[in-house]
Structure 1
Amino acid sequence: MLSYTGGLVLFAALLHASWNAMLHGNRDRFLSMTWMSIAIAAVSTGVVAFVPWPPDAAWPCIIASGLVHIVYNVSLVRAYRRGDLAQAYPIARGSSPLLVALGAALFAHEAIGPLHALGIAMISGGIISLALGGGSVSRSGALAALTVGATIAVYTVIDGIGVRSMSGHALAYTAWMFMFYWLMPVLFVAMRGIDALLTPIRAAPVSIVSSLAGGLVSIAAYGIVIWAMQSGAMGTVSALRETSVVFAVLIGRVFLREAVSKKRWLACVVVAGGAICLGL
């Protein structure tokens, strides 16, 4: 049976899939990501007033992770512009647990047992097969997805190391790291101007509200992951988190009436089996 921590990480995966579903209809991904970042940064600004000041040892990780998250956001926005990303993006989610496990072994000296290693491999393989199950993926699409996956792995390992220097104050680490999300509206305004940021408030209020809501759900989802990495192996936590891709398939089938092939259902079963291995 999954532990309490594992159950929370699976809940975080569901939250992650949910905010992706909420943002599915927003065509301007850069604008949506910017307003989502504004919501995350605004909440973090309020939280930092009530949490402890991070120790000196945590600041390099906070700064590095905050900047890598911005690179991730920009990379994701650019990747969404490729027509085949909807198929290739699971490659990013599937590749990151393997990269996280490798990074944790190299930089945090984490050891993973055979059963958990099998679980990580099953989850990664199952998620990647979800992408390949719909047909061939272009080289450019796969490269874009792998780039996103690499940034996910980098900030996950950084956060796993950083939060362990916070003496149990995972909320403080999360809030200070997410303060860097204020850089997203700065980048947006520099590229498109202030009117492009503010005009949609009146012209497309529904998309702005969905983006803000997505930001709130996102900060909760990743906050749980950072909390879990205080004591859990980074590769294991990352693999459980990436089951969000399977939740996205289920949400698409139940609420959006999207067709799911037998191969994709089989891939979901493989991912579920991997999650069970991580819970044993």
Structure 2
Amino acid sequence: MTPLVVTAVLTAALTHATWNAIAHRIEDKLVAFTLISGGATVLGAVIACFVPLPLAAAWPYLLVSALLHVGYMVLLMRSFTLGDFGQMYPIARGTAPLVVTVVAVALVGESMDAWQTAGVVVTSTGLVGLALWGIRDARATPRWPALLAALATGVSIAAYTVVDGVGVRNAGSSLSYIAWLLILEGILIPAYALYARRGRLLPQLRPHAARGLLGAALSTLAYGLVLWAQTRAPLGPVSALRESSILVGAVIGAVFFKERFGTPRIVAAGLMVVGIGLMLHAS
């Protein structure tokens, strides 16, 4: 976890929280994710024109990851429909880092030293604490369907993080991997929207086009930086650091959606800073 990798992942966290807030802001979630997925597909196609094809070993991971990403998008849409941004986003993101760490060590054969492990645990404690505090807020406790959707979203995040972490290392180029992942995953939701809305889709997209396409660009940048970082550092620490986007999401929720930001979130921020310091110590 060199300073360059940390900077890349923190930038990804900022851009990721921002595109999620854009998606939440658009009331019609199918319209929001159609614009974001469709725009990302176009960006992926442009990038693919300037990079070589991924190596053959990466294609199975690309196909599995594309399906996992579509499932993640569907679950995220459901979460944002059922619950508040300031609660759904932390719960969805906060469940992933520890799952990624355990799976990466158990199945991918990664090893982490004591500093990295402590950093992941401390960072994840801050993330989970932030999520649980949101749940216990009696004024805005989510319904069980919303909570389950957010938890399922977190599991899907962990799944595609591990698949992509292995796949991008077999692709020969992180840019070629992200380009084809965007192409493969991005066509399904717009295709479904065209079928479901038929002649009504384009008029529904038009008022939100600028924001949706901005979200697509931010989404592409965010995950491209994460994939690059996964070729330079272990999956667990990258996943934990990436989820600092939860704090950015909490700030966005407080400023733009008028949700509460108090002492628990400040404590969570402190734990995350300590966790990042421990991961940097390992480098």
**With structure 2 as the length reference, what TM-score do the two structures score?**
0.90
Q: Are 1:68 and 1:154, in contact at CA under 8 Å, matched by a contact in 2?
A: yes
> 2:222 maps to which residue?
221
Range that drifts further, 138-147 or 255-264: 255-264
2:237: which partner in 1?
A: 236
Report whether the alignment pairs 1:89 with 2:83.
no
* Residue matched to 1:153: 158
Encode CA deviations 1:19-41: one digit per residue, 9 max, x unaligned: 22333421111210111011100
Structure-2 change in CA distance of 1:99 and 1:275 (3 Å):
same
Counterparts of 1:246-257 in structure 2, within 5 Å, are: 246-253=247-254
Q: Percent identity?
A: 37
More off after superposition, 147-156 vs 47-56: 47-56
The code of the aligned residue for 1:112 comes to: M
- Of 204, 209, 232, the residue aligned with 1:200 is 204
1:189 partner amino acid: L
What is residue 267 of structure 1 aligned with on the other side?
Answer: 268
Sort the Cα spacing of 1:94 and 1:213 in 2 relative to 1 into closer, same or farther, 3 A: same
Structure 2: how far apart are the matches of 1:184 and 1:117? 37
Tell me which amino acid in the other structure corresponds to 1:260.
F
Q: Tell me which of 173, 189, 192 is aligned to 1:184.
A: 189
Task: Tell me which moved more, 71-80 or 35-44.
Answer: 71-80
2:34, 2:190 within 8 Å by CA — same for their partners in 1? yes
Q: Pick one of 174, 179, 196 that aligns with 2:178.
A: 174
Distance 1:96 1:120 in 2: 11
Superposition pairs of residues 103-114 of structure 1, within 5 angstroms? 103-114=103-114
Letter in 2 for 1:264: R
Q: Measure how far apart 1:125 and its partner are.
A: 1.9
3-state SS of 2:214 partner? helix
Contact 1:2 1:276 in 2 (8 A): no
Give 1:60 shift.
0.2
User: CA separation in 2, counterparts of 1:92 and 1:242?
Assistant: 10
* Unaligned residue ranges in structure 1 (runs of 5+): none
SS of the aligned residue for 2:49 comes to coil
Give the number of the structure whose residues are more often helix, by fraction.
2
Q: Deviations over 1:130-162 (max 9, x none)?
A: 222232554433321111011111111111101
Tell me, yes or no, if the aligned pair for 2:96 and 2:155 is still in contact at 8 Å. Answer: yes
Q: 3-state SS of the aligned residue for 1:23?
A: helix
Instruction: Quote how far apart the aligned CAs of 1:252 are.
Output: 4.0
Structure 1: distance between partners of 2:82 and 2:254: 23
Cα distance, 1:69–1:95 mapped onto 2, change above 3 Å: same
Secondary structure of residue in 2 paired with 1:53: coil
Aligned twin of 1:102: 102
Farther off after superposition, 126-135 or 73-82: 126-135
The alignment partner of 2:52 has SS state of coil
Unpaired segments of 5 or more residues in structure 2? Answer: none
CA shift for structure 1 position 255: 6.0
1:60 aligned partner: 60
The two structures have a TM-score, normalised by structure 1, of 0.91
In the alignment, the residues of structure 2 paired with residue 183 and residue 29 of structure 1 have an alpha-carbon distance, to the nearest angstrom, of: 15
Q: Across the two proteins, how many residue pairs are aligned to each other?
A: 275
In 1, are the aligned partners of 2:68 and 2:160 still within 8 Å (CA)?
A: yes
Mapping 1:9-28, distance limit 5 Å: 9-28=9-28
Is the Cα–Cα contact under 8 Å of residues 90 and 130 in structure 1 kept in the other structure? Answer: yes
| Structure 1 residues 212-265: Cα deviation after superposition (integer angstroms, max 9, x where no partner) | 100101100000000111121001111111100111223444566654111221
Tell me which amino acid in the other structure corresponds to 1:109. G
Is 1:133 paired with 2:133?
A: yes
Aligned-pair Cα RMSD in Å:
1.9
